């Protein structure tokens, strides 16, 4: 493989400017081939395969594998039962996969496929997706252009819940493996397919069981590369970018309870519990987090890529990037580069800013009774370079100001409620920002990031710029950190005419068929490229 290794020295701060800040890997095509594999590559381009692929994805969408926030225990809550028919559908639809790969069912519905390689010294490749979809509220069904579980194909898109999040990736993975089996491909490197079933409700029963199972079976840092759902290709600054997610923000929900004396509402105090809680909400919203681009934040790398390759990259950003790369220290407490970049809008701002959102509030039970207990829930997505500790400290400080003002006892994260108190607690789902996948090689050795980049540019052309991306949300990979340092959250299918991520989580979710077919081709090529690589 020919790939560029002119990299900035990651141990030097600031970055050196004598070498490219955003080197691009040459397109990478599998070199080990046979007549059957060449035929497979041609088949994946045919209308017959296109029609078959549409049927497969449509059929998967028609099975309503919804996961709800209040799901009970697996095996007891009947709403889990729908995953049985979905597994049966996969078995019927992909017979070669099920006859060739070992299938293990973990915690009943998680599906773990293993295609044993011929060289056990090579670390496995692991591909991920999830079977579940977000529920469709009954009140929104009539708003859909086509019924949400119809799998309707209109000549360009397959419509329905899960079509783009992420049954498309799940089906594409299985289609790629089915085609490889049919072509007689015999992997040197073991291939693992890990399919959870509750990613939309934090993945505790699916990925939360799959990852420990794999860790016990293979050991710590035993996987060469992991690819899960995630960021997609985009156009920005006059150039096309592929943005595989190499990082995720952290996550913590904080519950705040305001306890104040009750009484008859005909004799109200100046401020009751709801009023005090509202004042605290206003204070929280009035004190947002600053935009800060940590050296490890992948968006900083994207900015360097934009400055180097995009014809319409803003001059102000380029100037601030140059200043950052040439000045070792700054006396300013403000990150002016991050502040300027954040002006592009909230979707960009929150790639480099801890977000704060009050999502739930409840208080009071009767119109003539003052509320004795008011609760709010504040969601945080923690910026790369920050920690959950800093988030908890800040919100405790803000709550302390209100507690002091109204002579209430503050009990942050270690106390119990009293009749006149503000109590803070965080929920079990406390997640630090993910370890950042390395993208800069310190040697001439090929890396998984190089292979992903080369595979992508082979599919879409050398005009496509591959740059590190970051996820504002979290995927099932949160459970897999111990298995590999090379984790990518990436949806390789690309349809420029499709609206962003295909209306995921909302009305009229759909998936462009061309993007889906490209995902199949990408998966097949990536498996082969990883199989040939020395990583």
H or E element in which residue 342 lies: helix 336-342
Decide the pairing of beta strands 487-490 and 250-259: unpaired
Binding residue per annotation — 228?
Answer: yes
User: For residues 166-194, b (16+ Cβ closer than 10 Å) or e, as one string?
Assistant: bbbbbbbbbbbbbbbbebebebebbbbbb
Give yes or no: 36 in active site.
no
Inter-residue contact 25 to 462 (CB < 8 Å): no
505 is in an annotated binding site: yes
User: Which positions ≥6 away from 413 have C-beta within 8 Å?
Assistant: 392, 396, 424, 425, 426
Catalytic position from the list 132, 175, 294, 301: 132
Beta carbons within 10 angstroms of residue 116's beta carbon: 15
DSSP lists the bridge partners of residue 257 as 375, 423
Q: Which of 238, 97, 108, 105 is nearest to 172 (CA)?
A: 97
**DSSP assignment, residue 254?**
E
Tokens of 80: 């889990």
How many CB atoms neighbour CB 239 within 10 A? Answer: 18
The reply to whether 132 belongs to the active site is: yes
CA distance 427 to 260: 23
Catalytic residue among 178, 199, 205, 495: 199
Q: Is 34 exposed, middle or buried (0-12, 13-18, 19+ CB in 10 A)?
A: exposed
Instruction: Give the C-alpha distances (Å, rounded to integers) separating 16 from 145, 170, 303, 308, 338.
Output: 53, 41, 15, 14, 20
Give the residue ranges of the annotated binding site: 130, 165, 200, 228, 505
Residues known to be catalytic: 132, 199
Give the residue ranges of the annotated binding site for Zn(2+): 130, 165, 200, 228, 505
């Amino acid at each position: 493989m020919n790939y560029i290794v002119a990299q900035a020295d990651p141990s030097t701060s600031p970055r050196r400017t004598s070498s490219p800040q955003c080197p691009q890997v040459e397109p990478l095509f599998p070199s080990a081939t046979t007549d059957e594999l060449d035929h497979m590559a041609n088949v994946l381009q045919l209308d017959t395969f296109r029609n078959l692929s549409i049927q497969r994805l449509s059929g998967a969408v028609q099975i309503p594998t919804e996961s709800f926030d209040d799901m009970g225990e697996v095996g007891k809550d009947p709403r889990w039962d729908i995953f049985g028919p979905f597994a049966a559908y996969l078995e019927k639809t992909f017979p070669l996969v099920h006859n060739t790969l070992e299938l293990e069912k973990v915690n009943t519905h998680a599906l773990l496929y293993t295609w044993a390689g011929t060289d056990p010294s090579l670390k496995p490749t692991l591909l991920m997706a999830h079977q579940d979809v977000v529920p469709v509220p009954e009140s929104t069904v009539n708003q859909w252009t086509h019924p949400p579980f119809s799998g309707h194909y209109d000549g360009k898109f397959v419509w329905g819940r899960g079509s783009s999040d992420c049954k498309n990736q799940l089906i594409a993975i299985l289609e790629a493996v089915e085609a490889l089996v049919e072509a007689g491909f015999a992997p040197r490197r073991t291939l693992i397919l890990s399919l959870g079933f509750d990613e939309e409700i934090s993945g505790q029963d699916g990925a939360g069981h799959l990852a420990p199972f794999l860790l016990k079976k293979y050991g710590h840092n035993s996987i060469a590369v992991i690819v899960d759902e995630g960021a997609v290709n985009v156009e920005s600054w006059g150039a096309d970018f592929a943005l595989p997610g190499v990082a995720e923000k952290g996550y913590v929900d904080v519950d705040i309870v305001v306890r104040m004396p009750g009484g008859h509402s005909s004799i109200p105090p100046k401020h009751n519990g709801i009023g005090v809680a509202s004042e605290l909400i206003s204070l929280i919203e009035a004190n947002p987090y600053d935009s800060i681009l940590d050296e490890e934040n992948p968006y900083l790398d994207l900015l360097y890529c934009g400055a180097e390759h995009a014809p319409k990259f803003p001059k102000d950003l380029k100037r601030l990037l140059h200043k950052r790369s040439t000045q070792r220290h700054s006396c300013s407490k403000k990150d002016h580069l991050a502040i300027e970049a954040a002006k592009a809008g909230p979707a960009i701002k929150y790639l480099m800013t801890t977000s704060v959102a009050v999502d739930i509030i409840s208080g009071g039970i009767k119109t003539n009774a003052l509320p004795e207990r008011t609760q709010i829930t504040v969601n945080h997505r923690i910026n790369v370079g920050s920690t959950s500790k800093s988030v908890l400290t800040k919100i405790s400080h803000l709550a302390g100001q209100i507690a002091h003002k109204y002579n209430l006892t503050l009990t942050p994260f270690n106390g119990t409620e009293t009749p006149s108190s503000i109590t803070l607690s965080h929920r079990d789902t406390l997640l630090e920002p993910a370890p950042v996948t390395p993208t800069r090689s310190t040697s001439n050795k090929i890396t998984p990031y190089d292979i992903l980049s080369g595979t992508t540019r082979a599919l879409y052309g050398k005009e496509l710029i591959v740059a590190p991306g970051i996820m504002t949300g979290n995927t099932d990979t949160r459970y897999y950190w111990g298995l590999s340092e090379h984790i990518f959250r990436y949806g390789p299918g690309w349809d420029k005419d499709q609206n962003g991520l295909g209306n995921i989580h909302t009305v009229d979710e759909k998936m462009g068929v061309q993007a889906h077919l490209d995902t199949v081709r990408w998966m097949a090529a990536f498996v082969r490229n990883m199989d040939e690589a020395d990583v």
